[in-house]
Structure 1
Amino acid sequence: MNEDLTGLERIIGYNFKDKSLLDQALTHRSYATEHSGMVSDNERLEFLGDAVLELVMTKLLFDLYGKEYSEGDLTRMRAFLVNENQLASQAQRLTIGEFIKLGKGEERSGGRYKKSILADTFEAITGAIYLDGGLDPCFKFIKSIYDELLKNVTSQFKIDDYKSALQELTQAKFHVVPTYRVERISGPDHNRSFEVALIFEGDVLARGKGSSKKKAEQEAAKKALKILKDG
């Protein structure tokens, strides 16, 4: 176990005013149990960190993709970014496992490398940063770690793309592709609403509304897919 908490602070990019919070964030229940409750484990900090992480990730995703993707897509992105595998991967990259305080039994069983323990400790550190410095350093911490993943998250799994699905269907079945026409834009600049018509074989097949042109087109394509498949 590496006891150089200053070294860990350098790695995570945050200096604690209250070092005991970081120490607690690194204390697994097995260690606290072996020391007869003389030290506090990290489970409550983990509970707090889980909520903070979800809030921070939600805001980061909203800022990057809120105008382009649906609520369902954003939820799936967030779930992908904060699942146990991802959190454990980030903890490994930051060498957090080297600093965790484990009981002897957990140490012997390889607890320092268990995904669940690494992920929980990552959340506990996030909770500790929040208690020590508030939300701003949490945003800085998470954004610096997840920067590349956030930029590329849409390529990590399939986002519902009704336009592409419709184009594949119409090309294969009818040998034509639909076009889209913006019929109306309303609302103030900060809250625009777009209405789009989907043109297929010269006629309006479906219409869609959304807070962006892309969302409106996706909505129209979704309706058109249903019409063509049901028909």
Structure 2
Amino acid sequence: MNKAKNWLEKALQYRFVSIDLFKQALTHRSFSKKNNERLEFLGDAVLDFVVSEKLFELRPNATEGDLSKLRSFLVKETTLAELAFELDLGRHLILGSGELKAGGNRRESILSDALEAILGAIFLDQGFNAVREVINHIYSSRYIELPELSDLRDPKTKLQEWLQERKMALPSYELIQVLGKNHQQNFVVTCFVSEEAISTQGKSTTRRKAEQEAAQKMAKLLKEKIQ
């Protein structure tokens, strides 16, 4: 655990009082019944509050709806996984042998859950002010580079709006294939626009993400063809 402790102090600028809490935060359910799931639950709640508080400060004129969209963008699984990659968290996770062989230390869901678990553990270890400081530290660059609200619309919404502006029929999505085993599935989805008789394909770890990828490809294809 010494390497993990040294990593934590450098990456998060935090030192645990309770090493047991730190170890539990890194432990996936595939390794032990005493794992990080409960800490993840707590960390998720703390993260939501701290990010909400910061956004309230940074965007004094934003509406409640706008603040909610920005918060969702900052605390979603993809953003948390990106932060975990940047922090090199995967190297220090404690996984069962099967999960490790399957590449669990690089999987977005496991990384994002572990990061939330660490935040929950910090809250229990030294309280709210300590975890607030850590969260604002790791999110500092994200706060500076907050996107415009128009950029937060997902690809499916953008495609739908683009088609509606041109009075074209809305796209249809179809799940055509599910690859892999239950714990490591990939979904293949097509996006079809009838008026142009063209389709695109998306593939990802969830059906929703696959649809978003297909929609993004469709938007690019249509813009190249029509504009």
Q: What is the TM-score with the length of structure 1 in the denominator? A: 0.63
Q: Percent identity among equivalent residues?
A: 41
Closer/same/farther in 2, CA of residues 106 and 153 from structure 1, 3 Å limit: same
1: distance between equivalents of 2:143 and 2:127?
Answer: 22
Larger Rg: 1
Asked if 1 retains the 8 angstrom alpha-carbon contact of 2:28 and 2:93, the reply is: yes
- For the aligned residue pairs, the C-alpha RMSD in angstroms reads 1.7
8 Å CA contact 2:66, 2:149 repeated in 1: no
Instruction: Give yes or no for contact 2:28–2:95 (8 Å, CA) kept in 1.
Output: yes
Q: Distance in 1 between matches of 2:124 and 2:150?
A: 34
- One-letter code of the match for 2:25? A
CA distance in 2, matches of 1:64, 1:134: 24
Does 1:121 find its partner at 2:114? yes
Tell me the secondary structure at the aligned position of residue 29 of structure 1. Answer: coil
User: 1:78-115: CA deviations, max 9, x gaps?
Assistant: 00000000000001111110000000100010000000
Matches within 5 A, 1:118-197: 118-155=111-148, 157-158=150-151
Q: Which runs of 5+ in 2 are unaligned?
A: 154-227
Structure 1 alignment gaps of length 5 or more = 161-231
1:1-231 correspondence to structure 2 within 5 Å: 4-10=3-9, 11-32=11-32, 37=33, 40-65=34-59, 67-155=60-148, 157-158=150-151
Relative to 1, partners in 2 of residues 1:77 and 1:16: Cα closer, same or farther, differing over 3 Å?
A: same
Q: 4+ runs of 1 displaced by more than 3 Å?
A: 154-160
Partners of 2:145 and 2:20 in 1: CA distance: 36
Shift of 1:6: 1.9
CA contact (8 A) 1:73 1:159 kept: no
In 1, Cα distance between equivalents of 2:64 and 2:113: 27
Deviations 1:127-148 (A, max 9, x none): 0000001111111111111112
Give the corresponding residue for 1:218. Answer: none
> Aligned partners of 1:73, 1:9: CA distance in 2, in Å?
33
Q: CA deviation at 1:153?
A: 1.1
2:39–2:120 CA contact under 8 A, matched in 1? yes
Q: Distance in 1 between matches of 2:74 and 2:54?
A: 11
Counting matched residue pairs gives 152
Where 1:41 maps in the other structure, the secondary structure is coil
